[in-house]
Amino acid sequence: MPLQYKNNIFQIFKTAISRNYEKWMATCEMSAEEEERIKAIQRHLEGEEPVAIYRSMGRSKHWFNIWLGRYKTGGGGWYKNLSKKAKVIPHRTTERIERAVVNIRNVLMNGTEESAKYSCVGAEAIQFRMEELGYEQSEIPSISTIKRIIKRNKLRVNRPERYKRVHSKGRYTILNPKYVDELHQMDYVGPRHIRGYGPINSIHLKDVVGRQAAGKQYNEKNMDNAYPLQIDW
């Protein structure tokens, strides 16, 4: 590019910023830092050496070069701070999935549906319910994500109230065992990951009246493992 052409472009920029500087100051609400950036570039366009500009302002060469580079982009708001907010939120849960988690949580907490009368209400129970409803594994949020959704939608309950539904007499009037071996409770725990081996799932079985307990460990959670434990018990 010819030197004369470069000088003409430089003069156009210099004239434009000089003519519009007062208008900027009158119409824009700017912070002291933003005004400082504009003044620094204006002084540079008027021919002052960069080193004299940034030293007189108590700034560094790096600071000056940042705002000179931003000015050269031609953007109208070059002197403003860039937003630090992420433009793309990776793996953000979709509104459809979040709504499903909220609805399932409410169903489990209310316990009005037959299938939810004796269910747990936590994140693992929500995952299991989503599997039952046919959601793909890739759609089901992690435990930590479900907990964040519950908190964000104000569906948490404090500790004294957490198990109120579980211990409610009205919910368990049909289950009132009086004899040993009349009623058992069974649940899976895990998986727990053992280094060098892999995931381990433990199934626990307890007699409600006698409180005797039994347990066994398996690699997977399935009913093929649960049935033998019930029979052997």
Domain segments of the chain as ranges = 3-72, 88-174, 177-233
In the chain, the largest separation of any two C-alpha atoms, in whole Å, equals: 103
Q: What is the pTM of this model?
A: 0.39
> What torsion, rounded to 10 degrees, do the Cα atoms 121, 127, 130, 135 define?
170
Q: 19: part of which helix (H) or strand (E)?
A: helix 3-27
The confidence score (pLDDT) of residue 197 equals 82
The confidence score (pLDDT) of residue 194 equals 80
Axis-axis angle for helices 32-45, 61-72 (nearest 10): 80
| Greater model confidence, 82 or 27 | 82
| Greater model confidence, 55 or 155 | 55
Q: Is 219 left (phi over 0), alpha (psi -120 to 50) or beta?
A: alpha
99: how many CB neighbours lie within 10 A of its CB? Answer: 13
The confidence score (pLDDT) of residue 214 equals 78
Q: What's the mean pLDDT when you consider all of the chain?
A: 77
Q: In this structure, what token pair is assigned to residue 167?
A: 């211990």
**Residue 168 pLDDT exceeds 50:** no
Axis-axis angle for helices 3-27, 32-45 (nearest 10): 150
Cα 163 from chain centre: 27
Average pLDDT (101-109) is: 90
Which tens digit of pLDDT belongs to each residue from 21-31?
A: 555 554 556 78
- pLDDT band per the 50, 70, 90 thresholds, residue 171: very low
| Greater model confidence, 174 or 123 | 123
The confidence score (pLDDT) of residue 177 equals 77
The confidence score (pLDDT) of residue 169 equals 45
3-state secondary structure of 187: strand
**Residue 223 pLDDT exceeds 60:** yes
